[in-house]
Amino acid sequence: MRLMKHIFILFPIAAALLFFASCSENKKGYVIGLEETLTLMTSSIDRIEAEKVAEIIYKNDSQFRFIDLRNPTEYIKNHVPGAVNVPGNAVLSDEYIDILNQDEFINILYCETAMKANEAWIMLKQKGYSNNKVFYGGFDFIENHILNKYSPKSGNYNDEKPAFNFKEIMNAGGSGGAQEQSAPAAAPMVASKKKKSVEGGC
Amino acid sequence: MNKSYLALFAFAVIVTTILILMPEKNNGKIELTPERIKAELNESSRFFTCDQVADRIIQGDPSFRLIDVRSEEEYNKYALPGAINIPLDSMLSENWIMYLDPVGASNIFYSNGTVKSDEAWILCRRQGFKNNYVMYGGLNEWFTCIINPVAPSLISSNAEFDLYRFRKAASFYFMGGSTTETSAPAAMPAVGSKKKKEVQGGC
């Protein structure tokens, strides 16, 4: 009789173990199955459009963070302001898991080509990393069509936006730290300096 | 009654143990780990350039098959000669398994660009399929390089001129149809052997 009671308890436990073992996917490292992966591939749910990328950059939207997947040598030359460099080859390494699987920011991945960015994105998705979106335009696109459009290089459309760092230029162009001491004695000189700067302003 | 429950319980324990110990199971098929696939993606050994694909079509190489992974509609509008259509959307269907894991032959996936054919490669590789490759640049690159090749500048190397001549001939072959088949491939063999080394350079 005691044995029978034990079996009644043990059998459901065994059945539960059976169920658990048959749906355990953790060994493989994939969090989603093949069908779900394919659905993700064919949907555009995590793709960010260029207009949105431009908006995020211009507004300095702190909800988003750019992830530059290119080599460090390329990243150093230029990158989206505030972008974090994660070389594409190492996206699955433990070194970057805190950057690529978190819920503080929404990451936007970009690389030189759409293919490389997409590759990184779909592998991260399959491992269940969250909050990663992908932009298909390469960095060249971002640089030419977004970054360079509203920099001082391309022109200043806003009258009241300072086009120069006035203080820095004046300090560099004048006599540096000695300027303040010599200013009162050289009042006539300051006046002539002013004339020059007015001319320069136009 | 004791015995039957005991037998059932023993069976459950045995099957559970087997399932826990069995490696990488997914409906009986083996899957490669994400890390392994990423390492292969990093190697970039899965790519064929448009020149290489053009050469194989012209040579009539029977060991490979072109697979167009775009939609049926796009495939019907235009597809590379001899390509079969397996849209990415339906790539997990049972119908295609024997095509996607061929024995003794290779598949070259292509699409308009590279993203879609690359995704097809990833999907297949995860299932452990071998012998699948990707045509880098897709039809966009094909039309830029093979159909409308750009003549190199006068200061270019002989290798670049050879490549251009190959592309011009290939363009003729693909645009002209059967009447030009006799004239175009005559130039192929000599360029073909050189080309395999050089073709790493893009368009």
Per-residue pLDDT reduced to its tens digit, A37-76: 999 999 989 999 999 999 999 888 999 999 999 999 999 9
The answer to whether B122 contacts A21, with C-beta atoms less than 8 Å apart, is: no
Query: Token pair of A149, please?
Result: 């459009």
Cα separations (Å) of B3 from A3, A11, A118, A189? 11, 13, 57, 111
Chain A positions in Cβ-Cβ contact with residue B41 (cut-off 8 Å): 119, 123
Q: Is the ipTM of this complex over 0.85?
A: no
State the residue for tokens 């269940």: A128
Contacts of A35 in chain B (CB under 8 A): 92
Question: Angle at the Cα of A143 (from A140 to A144), degrees rounded to 5?
Answer: 85
Backbone angles phi, psi at B55, to 5 degrees: -60, -45
Query: What confidence tier does B175 reach under pLDDT thresholds 50, 70, 90?
Result: confident
- A6's tokens: 């034990």
In whole angstroms, give the CA distance from residue A24 to residue A49: 36
Q: Which residues of B61-96 are buried (b: 16+ CB within 10 A; e: fewer)?
A: eeebbbbbbbbeebbeeebbeebebbbbeebbeeeb
A128 touches chain B (CB under 8 A): no
The span from the CA of B57 to the CA of A163, in Å, is 58
d(Cα A80, Cα A197) in Å, to the nearest integer? 34
pLDDT at A156 (0 to 100): 54
| Averaged pLDDT for residues B86-96 | 93
* β-sheet bridge partners, residue B64: B106
Any idea what DSSP says for residue B152?
P
- Please list, in sequence order, all residues whose beta carbon lies within 8 angstroms of the beta carbon of residue B95, skipping any fewer than 6 positions away: none
Cβ of A14 within 8 Å of Cβ of B35? The answer is no
pLDDT of res. A166: 78
Mutate to test the interface with B, among A122, A127, A134 (most CBs of B within 10 A): A122
Does A36 score more than 80 pLDDT? yes
Q: Which amino acid is at A47?
A: R
Q: How far is B149 from chain A (nearest CA, A)?
A: 22
Is-contact A88 A69, C-beta < 8 A? yes
Q: Which residue of B has its CA nearest to A41?
A: B119
Which residues, 6+ apart, have CB-to-CB distance to B45 below 8 Å? none
pLDDT averaged over every residue in chain B? 82
Pairing of strands A84-85, B47-48: unpaired
**What is the per-residue pLDDT across B40-88, written as a single tens digit (0 to 9) for each?**
999 999 999 999 999 999 999 999 999 999 999 999 999 999 999 999 9
CA angle A147, A56, A85 (to 5 degrees): 70
The 10s digit of each residue's pLDDT in B95-110 is 898 899 988 899 999 9
A1 CB contacts (<8 Å, ≥6 apart)?
none
DSSP codes, A142-177: HIIIIITTTSGGG----TTS-SS-HHHHHHHHTTGG
Q: Between the ranges A132-136, B8-12, B173-177, where is the mean pLDDT highest?
A: A132-136
